Amino acid sequence: MEEYRLIRLLGQGGMGQVYLAEDTLLERPVAVKFIASVRPDGPARRRFSMEARAIARLQHPNVVAVHRIGEFEGRPYLVTEFVRGQTLAQLPGPVPWERALVIGLSLARALSAAHRHGVLHRDIKPANVMLTESGDVKLLDFGLAKLLAPEASPADAAPSSGSATSTPGAVAPPFGEGAAGRSRSAVELTGADKIIGTPLYMAPEVLSGEQASCRSDLYAIGALLYELCTGSPPRQTVPDDLSWDEWIIAEPAPLTAGTLLVDPRFADVIGRCLHVDPARRFSSADALADALEQIGDRRAGGVPDGNPYRGLRPFEAEHRGVFFGREPEIHAVLDRLRAERLVVVVGDSGTGKSSLCRAGVLPSAAEGSLGDGRSYATLSLVPGRRPLAALAAALAPLLGGDEAAVELCADDDPGALGRSLQRSLGKERGALIFVDQLEELSTLASPEEAARFGEVIARVSANATGARVLAAVRGDFFTRIAALPGLGEELSRALYLLRPLSPEAMRTAITGPARSKSFAFDPEELVDELVASAIRAPGGLPLLQFAMAELWDARDLARSRITASALDAIGGVAGALARHADGVLSRLLPEQRRAARRVLLQLVTPEGMRARRTDAELDDDDPATRASIDALVRGRLLVASEASGETAYEVAHEALVQGWDSLRRWLDADGEKRPVRERVAAAAAEWIRLGRSQEALWGDRQLAEAAVIGEDELPAQTGEFLRTSRKIAARRRRWRRALIVGVPLVIGLSAAGLRIQARHELDRTIAGYLEAGSAAFADGRRRKAEADELRREAFARFDAAGTARAEDAGAAQAQAEATWASAIEASRRADDALSRAEQLFNDGLRVEPARPDLRDLLGDVLVERIGLAELFHADERRTELVRQLDGHDDDRSRRGGLARVPRLSVEASPAGAEVRLERYERAGSARRLVPLGSLGRAPLHDLDITPGPGSYRLTFVAEGRAEVRWPLVLARGERLRVAVELPARDAVPEGYVYVPPGRFLFGSADVEQLRRGLLAAQPLHEVRTGGFLIGRTEVTYAAWIRFLDDLPPSLRDKHTPGARSRQWAQELERLPDGDWQLALELNAARRQVPRGELAWFTGRSLRERQDWQRFPVAAISLPDAEAYVHWLDRTGRLRGARLCSEHEWERAARGADDRRFPHGDALAPDDANFDETYGRKPQSFGPDEVGSHPASESPFGVLDMTGNVYEWTRSAAAPDEAIVRGGAWYYDQLSVSIPNRTVVEPETRDVTIGLRVCADFPPR
């Protein structure tokens, strides 16, 4: 049989025979399965082919692998891996519950992978589960699997009618009326029109004739685990005299009854799987795996001694037993690591990235959770100033070499380290390398070393098949890390976004550690107060953890309670940290407090980041400094660690930098001194490098500038530099006085000669810096101009692609992206050249700080770099550069240039309209609208907009005219003329908003991998639209019913909305009397709501009952939407009605600036209807009435442009591309953000896709 030689029959079942065979080409044993019938008919062949495709899609350590499908003498066959071992049916039972837990977790993971690929197993039983000789669990025989229909969900949908399904009433009780004779081996395996499977393990609904689902597979796992723990399937424990209907729903004996020793949590999980009601089972195999992992994690980790809350310190592996609230995320990251060699966890400061990795992912991987048969060692490092040295120190024990040799190997050849690691690991071992605080590549390491480290890490993850790399990075530094060569290219695939804890997960994080120590909260409402306080407070999670650590210390030992009075005593969640930190300082002596202040200021960078410094850098030889450091470490405000043989210190958490008022005051007060201190430190370093040369000391002018800094605020070497400078300056002053009173001329001439010689040497050195710096400056300006030209060309190409012929649009879009990539590369080269110039001018100033020409040039370079950052919308870099400019702009002329006042001229028709001005001010992530008053009545000419450049909104008001809003962004020094025609009030139909002609920012300024990969957006650039009308809300069901009622029956049926998607269905149904009802199916709960009645959601506490006629219409295709707008135009209801273009849609949503959401840059749960609005509860997902979330109103007054339902629009990229915008109720913040655009097929009908109408204005 081709390259396969059959050896012997292994077994047979209702669908086929299985043979042991030899693969003669690869010399390995395989299993060959033939279809059962000798001459299979068409349906049997199709079922067999379906089985093969189902298995071939699955690649998972706990699923049997398929090698090939073929046909021999008219008989189809399937070749799979041959698994040596025994089935669970052959395993003596019962088994210890711990072993059953391990088996169950492996099966849940296997099913999770299968369900994600749309595959049901349908016949999970002990005979279909193998324990291999190496102890692994393999799920066999997907011979009963059927591919789920495309519209079905991996979470809970049933197959479509096209699949082989069961027919109600097709099966009678196979063993008579009673239960006698029922056995585990009795199988009823029939054709495609019968119920298929093994009744002892089949879910009640399937035995009743309903369709199988993912939750029926979970029932079978529960039945199997029950049998492993008890020795009998659950249905063999029920009475024998039950009828068939009674038998299939009978509850088995409890697992905790009698002498069974089963952990109650494990018993609860099994009981939930076996629930008669599918909706009461786990929602997915992922959820089941999470629950089982929780049980396993607690036992494996144990409960550590001492305080179960970590305060500001991260959870480590030894604290695994008290690390709660992140179980789904641990499971998700491990799943990613099973499939990918590099995973980067990105999240805001304080979301718990380090704890997730250290206490969740690393110990699970070390126990074998990656499932590839390797034994994994886990290594952790923090990059610091020398990331390659840190990596070498972590890998040296594994590679069997010394740290210096490993570092040299990595530096010489980035790929060699990965190859050496692979050779060291072999086939049995693995390594999981965790790089914490990856942002230090940007904040501490040199650019050269950071780039080298990024390349090494990328090569290690690519070349060492036994290695996995896990990293954690703060979200606000992600774009900088993404710019690193080598590593940056991999980040889009490696990205894992870690969201803040949900309120429910936060509750678990609060109660879990206390419960593990047998403590409770008194009263129970205290937990609600803690959760609410943590959600309200900025950086809530670290503040909560610190407060919990303090509460634990103040717990009531006698009653085993954590009390509300203890929370009041520590100052609440928000005040606990500051109160504790102030208390640590108050216990220090005055000189120690001054030293503590100096130490803390040294441990915070100018960007407000934590810095790590060694003993020597902190001058710990000073007794007061040493005592203050020890006190800060004991008080948990500093963390000490070993770094290259020295002790290094850092602030315990960013929450201290942001939330400790005393430290914030010190940092603010130190703001003016910090540039001077940095210049002193740089000059001191140069003085040390030059061997303490007098020529490098400061003179009187620089010393006068440094007078604002006390020596007690400086490290020892810097203080020595100032003292020596002052001593030499004083000596020079005495020499000058001596000259005045008659020092012999020869001495004066000698001294003058020495000074002239020194001056000549100094001038020559400065000239070198000037020449090299000026050349780099000119090169940077030239490259900046090139980058700007490429940028403009790319934007023109993007805009032209949208109007190209359909067959040319793809090539035009590709050319635009290629030009944009060239522009980005040119901007990088320009910034590199300007950075070189900045460094050279800085070096010159260190040698002679008094040179005004160097200071002027340095200021000019910074202005050029700021302009370059503005061209490419690099806001973070611009902010950082402006901060640097403040130290090199003595007369404030350059800073003034950046804020040059724009001038505005306004014309309105009719004349005399009042013009009001408002400015959008940033307040954190919000964009707060600040009224600036009336500018007067149009026309207005050359008005100075004195607040300066920024985002504004004009509002035009005139009697008898519709109010018109005009958002706009004014650039520095810009002169702009605005002309608007105010439409008559009755010319704008009710429910619509007029958007006047104007300009705005279109696209995304996100990092390239995110912009192109996830958002599919164009780069952020200015675009213009004409005037148009847009619906204030989406089209509702009430409006759509009016459309349907006006159509003939054939078209009415064609355009009636309806779709099934995942576990949801939404269908508009016409009743016999001509009225309408909405059929909603949400997580298997189907409701039919007639017109006039309210739809309701069981999982909500807010908006649980709503008028469905005010829901946005959904489950309509693009042709449906086009038919609707044509009807509006044709019937005169809205002349010129049409779909919105993407440009129009985005302008109406965004106004004029680069905001991520219609009202700002952050989205609170109730600002819109998206996945967080109702707590991500499956029973609460669904639409809201239009206009339910006014908080996210756009600058034009348009509602619901984020979330609720996606909206059909006309693509700006290609004329034949179908696009939906705005996100929907099921999707996350990124998906509902303004830049996100999703390409779909025009005929798609989905429960999350609806419509918003635009129209020409004036109508054509």
The burial class, CB within 10 Å (0-12 / 13-18 / 19+), for 404 is exposed
The burial class, CB within 10 Å (0-12 / 13-18 / 19+), for 426 is exposed
Cβ-defined contacts of 622-628 (< 8 Å, 24+) = 622/595, 622/716, 624/589, 624/591, 624/592, 624/594, 624/595, 625/595, 625/598, 625/599, 627/588, 627/589, 627/592, 627/595, 628/588, 628/592, 628/593, 628/595, 628/596, 628/599
Which of 764, 877, 783 shows the shortest CA–CA distance to 832?
Answer: 783
Task: Give the Cβ contact number of residue 529 at 10 Å.
Answer: 15
In this structure, what is the dihedral angle of CA atoms 440, 442, 444, 446, given to the nearest 10 degrees? 130
Measured in whole angstroms, the distance separating CA 655 from the mean position of its chain's CA atoms is 20
Distance CA 277, CA 273 (A): 10
Eight-class DSSP state of 433: E
Distance CA 84, CA 133 (A): 6
15 touches 2 (CB < 8 A): no
Known binding residue 33? Answer is: yes
272 touches 221 (CB < 8 A): no
Q: Which residue has the tokens 């000189």?
A: 591
Task: Give the Cβ contact number of residue 702 at 10 Å.
Answer: 20
> C-alpha distances in angstroms, 1099 versus 527, 710, 1181?
21, 62, 8
Q: Pull the structure tokens for residue 767.
A: 């000239």
Distance CA 924, CA 661 (A): 18
Which of 571, 544, 577 shows the shortest CA–CA distance to 350?
Answer: 544
Q: What are the strands of the beta sheet with 85-87, ordered from one edge? A: 85-87, 129-132, 137-139
The burial class, CB within 10 Å (0-12 / 13-18 / 19+), for 79 is buried
Q: Pull the structure tokens for residue 364.
A: 């699970």
Angle at 272 between CA 269 and CA 277, to 5 degrees: 170
Q: Pull the structure tokens for residue 197.
A: 């499977």
Q: Which residue has the tokens 């040390």?
A: 688
| Rama region for 8: left / alpha / beta (φ>0; ψ in -120 to 50; rest) | beta
Eight-class DSSP state of 1096: E
Distance CA 426, CA 465 (A): 9
21 touches 32 (CB < 8 A): yes
Distance CA 420, CA 400 (A): 10
Please give the full DSSP string across 616-642, using - where no structure is assigned.
HHHTTTSHHHHHHHHHHHHTTSEEEEE
Eight-class DSSP state of 40: -
Per the DSSP assignment, residues forming a β-bridge with 17 are: 12, 34
Eight-class DSSP state of 1011: I
1225 touches 1080 (CB < 8 A): no
Which of 72, 60, 87, 74 shows the shortest CA–CA distance to 32?
Answer: 72
749 touches 739 (CB < 8 A): no
Please give the full DSSP string across 84-150, using - where no structure is assigned.
PEEEGGGS-S---HHHHHHHHHHHHHHHHHHHHTTB------GGGEEEETTS-EEE--GGG--BPPT
Binding residues: 33
Binding residues for ATP: 33
